[in-house]
Amino acid sequence: MSSPPRLFISYSWSTSEHEQWVIDLATELVNSGVDVVLDKWDLREGHDSIAFMEKMVTDPSISKVILVCDQVYASKADDRSGGVGTETQIISAEVYAKQSQDKFVAVIAEKSDAGKPYLPAYYKSRIYVDLSEIDRYSENFEKLLRWIFDKPLYMKPEIGKPPSFIIEPDAPALGTSALAKRVIEGIKSEKGYARGALDEYLSLFSEHLERFRIAGGEGEMDDRVVKSIEDFTPSRNELIQIVTALAQYADPQTYVPRIHRFFESLVPYLSRPPQITQWIDVDFDNFKFIVHELFLYSIAVLLRGEHIESATYLLSQPYYVPGNSDCGKNAIVSYTVFREHMKSLDIRNQRLKSNRLSMRADLLEQRSKTSGVLFRYVMQADFVCFLRADLIRTDSYDRWWPETLIYADRHYGPFELFARSVSKTYLSRTLSLLGVASLDELKAKLDEYASGRRNLPRWQFDSFGPSTLLGFGQLGTKV
């Protein structure tokens, strides 16, 4: 077992109360596994106090030094007076000599009437630990301990490998980047060409998505599906930027029919095209993920910007698929068509012995980190898509499986949309988004979940609570 870290406390004998505060801090540190050197404990009669202080600051066995800063300490340090002044000469030289020095940290014990910490002049550009506020003492004491033990709360992850679209020049691309910039510029500047440029961009996007079709090749099919999804990342981010520009600089209601027609044009990618006569179930799985993700982010961005009516349009208007009726399917489908099962990820989970509850959810969560959209907004969109489909469905197959809600245990209260729906005015918009007419109708559906008459999605033993994510008890409680 490694020896405990040794720490020296530098402080001023300001008042008897302050000295006791320092002793209490030292005792708390000792009880937490720190070998504290304190003059009250270690400096005896006949000892040379100056030599003691010099040794504590420069002794290599002392791994950490904390400077307990109050008004008197800061004043003596700046004036180089008394024992604090002697220590300051040694400490400041150490600090200035090593800019990355992590042996010293200031601990704030007192602040001015203006709320500013008392700090020596030589330390004012450095980070400190504030123990002067009672209500945040425990939180900041933990920060101090983590510093002493070199165990920071946030650790930089290991550097991964560059995505394939960076290191492989032959990765497919839509070729829409120049047009995307023109669309965004037109939207931001309210140019007259913005609508036409958007139509051109969306048409080209849909047409060139064919470039990502997986043809025969070497290796495992699930590897090729995941690689295709990775290669698509720049194009996904491009579309997210355009929808974000619409949400920030325009009235999305003007443009949302075009977005609807765009997703309508993507539906054929989810199944076998007429020219292909031989195929297997997983041949179109990359498109199933890509289209699903694009739809989720479009809803997420609109709801993040509080464009509830635009999101409602995409969820309520049916999607026409020409030629679909010839195959014995409906020519008109709901938005739930954009979420189809991916068998390839089941195969991948088994092949790699990953034992993941949902590899699709994992992919969505990991990919959100490069999207510019926080994952909680993606989860919120997924929850809305699930709930609306489940509340109004008449066909047992017309469901939306909320992949990302496997992570719902990270969300301890209602999503932002529903937290804001404590307002009765806001709630009316939210109920329309969910496709229900009243709170009573919504409650009746939630009661079906609670009684087991309506099943919730499950991942083995994991599920989620709709009432919690809705914050149902607070909905519509304020004017």
The model's pLDDT over 257-307, given as tens digits with 9 standing for 90+, comes to: 999 999 999 999 998 887 777 777 788 999 999 999 999 999 999 999 999
Tally the residues of the chain: 479
User: For the domain that residue 135 is a member of, what is the CATH number?
Assistant: 3.40.50.10140
The answer to whether residues 281 and 317 belong to one domain is: yes
The answer to whether residues 27 and 128 belong to one domain is: yes
The answer to whether residues 222 and 367 belong to one domain is: yes
Q: Poorest-confidence range of 93-107, 220-234, 404-418? A: 93-107
Return the number of other C-beta atoms located less than 10 Å from residue 330's C-beta.
Answer: 16
Compute the mean pLDDT over every residue in the chain, rounded to the nearest whole number. 87
Q: How far is CA 291 from CA 270, 271, 309, in A?
A: 8, 12, 22
* Residue 206 confidence (pLDDT) above 70: yes
161 DSSP 8-state letter: P
- At 123 the pLDDT is 76
The answer to whether residues 120 and 181 belong to one domain is: no
Span 392-417, pLDDT tens digits: 876 656 789 999 999 998 767 899 99
In a domain, 131, yes or no: yes
Give dist(CA 322, CA 405) in Å, integer. Answer: 33
In a domain, 93, yes or no: yes
| DSSP code string of 255-280 | HHHHHHHHHHHHGGGGS--TT-----
Query: Beta strands of 400-449 (E only): which ranges?
Result: none
**Which of residues 104, 121, 148 is at a domain's end?**
148
In a domain, 43, yes or no: yes
Provide the residue range defining the domain that includes 297: 164-404
- At 101 the pLDDT is 63
Return the closest-CA partner of residue 421 out of 388, 470, 466.
470
Domains of the chain: total: 2
What the block records as the tokens of 88 is 């300051």
The answer to whether residues 59 and 169 belong to one domain is: no
Q: Poorest-confidence range of 90-104, 156-170, 182-196? A: 90-104
Label the pairing between strands 332-333 and 319-320.
antiparallel
Give dist(CA 220, CA 53) in Å, integer. Answer: 66
In a domain, 154, yes or no: no
Tokens 């709170």: give the residue.
439
The answer to whether residues 12 and 134 belong to one domain is: yes
**Which of residues 404, 429, 444 is at a domain's end?**
404
In a domain, 442, yes or no: no
| DSSP code string of 354-409 | ---S-HHHHHHHHHHTTTTS-HHHHHHHHHHHHHHHHHH--STT-----GGGGGGG
Give dist(CA 84, CA 71) in Å, integer. Answer: 12
In a domain, 220, yes or no: yes
The answer to whether residues 291 and 181 belong to one domain is: yes
CA angle centred on 346, ends 320 and 237, rounded to 5°: 55
Indicate the pTM of the whole model.
Answer: 0.68
The answer to whether residues 120 and 20 belong to one domain is: yes
In a domain, 345, yes or no: yes
Determine contact, residues 204/323, Cβ cutoff 8 Å: no
The answer to whether residues 335 and 222 belong to one domain is: yes
In a domain, 270, yes or no: yes
Q: Please, which residues have CB within 8 angstroms of residue 33's CB and are 6 or more apart in sequence? A: 4, 149
